[in-house]
């Protein structure tokens, strides 16, 4: 009998997560039997939850808010992209412990370029947030050829830390929220915070979106609505939620775990149909 491998996503909150549904779809599509569960763990509970899953024979883990930075710290080894990010969203079981990877950035770039036809080269980009989600996508945006990346966050020290980690002072510019009115318009504005989840979306001037500028929220579902509504009202040309990124980063994790890449189109279309409220101008 073939042993069924065990996988999980760990986050807080986690009940809303679509990851079990996505990986079940991939499992059926590629005929790879697996068990995939969702584990709710607060920051105080995270390390114990990961240890328990490891002790129980877990083979791979997806990490979501708010644990991505801590997950990277707990890994025995990191891939180059996870090291650059300082955050891990995909853990691969090895004989000596966990290998941490980060598939968020690749997932975002794939969704923007392949699914939505975006050309990121030469674009002026504003990244709102400096936590695990922001860290996951920033290096991939730079690799995709953007012209400049401005970063703002409620905690200036985290903004500076992310800018320093990226190591490209000619293209990466940490700023304060107070500077937003003076920065002009951006070709792409990305919300990488969980502020809307906490009912605390910061004030954003409509001038942030340049003519024909676009906007992306890395979240999906109801928590993405406030930012997407602001972006539409501010004249955003293409306004996108994080559903496609979620599917694409999951496909990359599936590839790391099983050695085969699933087709993302069918599962994206199925999930988009159930999230029609957030259908964008793609």
The whole-angstrom separation of Cα 45 and Cα 29 is 34
Question: Across the strands, what pairs with 99?
Answer: 77, 92
Region of 219 (left: φ > 0; alpha: ψ -120 to 50; beta: rest) is beta
Angle at 92 between CA 88 and CA 95, to 5 degrees: 130
Range in 11-25, 32-46, 125-139, 191-205 with the lowest mean pLDDT: 191-205
Is the CB of residue 104 less than 8 Å from the CB of residue 138? no
d(CA 218, CA 228) in angstroms, rounded, equals 11
Q: How does the average pLDDT of the chain come out, rounded?
A: 93
For residue 68, indicate whether it is catalytic.
Answer: yes
Whole-prediction pTM: 0.94
pLDDT at position 277 is 46
- Residues 136-157 have a mean pLDDT of 96
Could you report the per-residue pLDDT of 169-224, keeping only the tens digit for each?
999 999 999 999 999 999 999 999 976 555 567 889 999 999 999 999 999 988 89
Does residue 282 carry a pLDDT above 70? no
Q: pLDDT at position 1, please?
A: 55
CA distance 132 to 27: 27
The confidence score (pLDDT) of residue 198 equals 52
**Arithmetic mean of pLDDT, 127-152:** 97
Residue 137: pLDDT band (50, 70, 90) is very high
> What is the per-residue pLDDT across 105-123, written as a single tens digit (0 to 9) for each?
999 999 999 999 999 999 9
Residue 279 has pLDDT above 50, yes or no: no
Does the structure show a pLDDT above 70 at 140? yes
Give all domains of the chain, ordered by start, each with its CATH number: 5-103+244-278 (3.40.50.10860), 105-243 (3.40.50.720)
CA angle 183, 188, 190 (to 5 degrees): 95
Name the band, by pLDDT with cuts 50, 70 and 90, for residue 274. Answer: confident
- Whether the per-residue pLDDT at 281 is higher than 50: the answer is no
Task: Find the mean pLDDT for residues 53-81.
Answer: 96
pLDDT at 39 over 70: yes
The residue annotated as part of the active site, out of 5, 28, 68, 124, is 68
Quote the percentage of the chain above a pLDDT of 90: 89
**What is the pLDDT, as a whole number, of residue 114?**
97
What DSSP line would sit under 28-41, residue for residue?
HHHT--EEEEEEE-
CB–CB of 126/188 below 8 Å?
yes
Indicate whether 278 pLDDT > 50. no
pLDDT at 222: 86
């Amino acid at each position: 009998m073939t042993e069924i491998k065990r996988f999980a996503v760990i986050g807080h909150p986690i009940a809303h997560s679509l990851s079990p549904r996505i990986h079940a779809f991939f499992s059926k599509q590629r005929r790879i039997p697996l068990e995939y569960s969702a584990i709710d763990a607060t920051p105080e509970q995270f390390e114990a939850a990961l240890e328990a899953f490891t002790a129980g024979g877990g083979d791979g883990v997806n990490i979501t808010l708010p644990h991505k930075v801590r997950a990277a710290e707990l890994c025995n080894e990191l891939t180059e992209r996870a090291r650059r990010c300082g955050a891990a969203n995909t853990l691969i079981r090895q004989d000596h412990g966990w290998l941490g990877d980060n598939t968020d950035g690749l997932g975002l770039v794939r969704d923007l370029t392949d699914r939505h036809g975006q050309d990121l080269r030469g674009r002026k980009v504003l990244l709102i947030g400096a936590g695990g989600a922001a860290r996951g996508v920033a290096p991939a945006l730079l690799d995709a050829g953007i012209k400049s990346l401005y970063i703002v966050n409620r905690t200036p020290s985290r903004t500076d830390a992310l800018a320093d980690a990226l190591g490209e002072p000619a293209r990466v510019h940490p700023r304060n929220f107070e500077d937003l009115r003076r920065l002009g318009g951006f070709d792409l504005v990305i919300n990488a915070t969980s502020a809307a989840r906490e009912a605390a979306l910061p004030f954003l001037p409509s001038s942030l979106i340049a003519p024909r500028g676009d906007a992306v929220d890395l979240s999906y579902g109801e928590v993405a609505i406030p930012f997407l509504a602001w972006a539409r009202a501010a004249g955003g040309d293409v306004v996108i939620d994080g559903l496609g990124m979620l599917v694409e980063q999951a496909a990359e994790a599936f590839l790391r775990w099983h050695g085969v890449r699933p087709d993302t189109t069918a599962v994206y279309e199925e999930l988009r149909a159930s999230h029609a409220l957030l259908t964008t101008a793609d």
